[in-house]
Amino acid sequence: MTKSTKRKKTTKLPPQDLDGASQDRVMQMLVGENDHFWHHRIKRVFAEAGIATRRIEREEAHPVWRAWLTRRSFALASDTRAAKLQLRKILRDGGIKIVRDEFNIIEWRGDKLVVVFILDLGAPGTLQRRPPLVGQRELWAETH
């Protein structure tokens, strides 16, 4: 009996350089001025886990983020250390990696908490909820 030797077909594509316009758009998305992509992304990741974001801001001078959160359906641990691990895991599972010592809960009252973390992405500015008018969906105000 002879064994047939089959080669696995490689499906990896060779890396290619981005053209100038695409590279500019990627850089604008990552650190672009007046682009709140990361604000919305972080808000969406927390929302999928059952935590509402009331406000999120990135400081002007440093890559320090502050988020005002409200626990909705997520079972957050009562221990601060365990809660920090849970919140970092939510972000990590959403594709946003935060170093362990660069994430902290600075205020916690009942279901409302304020967290700070360092993330060197996104533009400075604030994204916060605005009260909707009658018949409108939830509105968000962006300030730069």
Render pLDDT for 23-66 as a digit per residue (tens, 0 to 9): 777 766 665 556 688 899 999 999 999 999 999 999 989 999 99
Report d(CA 102, CA 144) in Å as an integer.
Answer: 24
Report d(CA 76, CA 51) in Å as an integer.
Answer: 10
Report d(CA 7, CA 62) in Å as an integer.
Answer: 51
The one-letter code for the residue type at 44 is R
At 132 the pLDDT is: 66
Residues in the chain, overall count = 144
| 3 vs 112: which has the higher pLDDT | 112
Is pTM, for the whole model, over 0.75? no
Q: Is 31 inside a domain boundary?
A: yes
Do the beta carbons of residue 106 and residue 114 sit within 8 Å? yes
Q: Is 4 inside a domain boundary?
A: no
At 53 the pLDDT is: 95
| 132 vs 38: which has the higher pLDDT | 38
pLDDT category of residue 123 using cuts at 50, 70 and 90: confident
Torsion angle of C-alpha atoms 137, 90, 68, 41, degrees rounded to 10: -50
Domain residues for the domain of 91 are: 21-143
**Does the pLDDT of residue 128 top 90, yes or no?**
no
Q: What is the pLDDT of residues 78-108, one digit of tens each?
A: 999 999 999 999 999 999 999 989 999 999 9
Q: Is 110 inside a domain boundary?
A: yes
Longest dimension (CA), the chain: 78
Helix-, strand-, coil-residue percentages of the chain, each rounded to 5? 30, 30, 40
Q: Is 114 inside a domain boundary?
A: yes
Q: Is 2 inside a domain boundary?
A: no
The single-letter DSSP state of residue 9 is: P
Taking residues 121-138, report their average pLDDT: 76
- Number of domains comprising the chain: 1
Q: Is 85 inside a domain boundary?
A: yes
Q: Is 6 inside a domain boundary?
A: no
At 1 the pLDDT is: 52
**Cα dist. 2→5, 8, 83 in Å?**
9, 18, 58
Do the beta carbons of residue 21 and residue 27 sit within 8 Å? no
**Does the pLDDT of residue 121 top 80, yes or no?**
yes
The one-letter code for the residue type at 88 is R
Q: Is 5 inside a domain boundary?
A: no
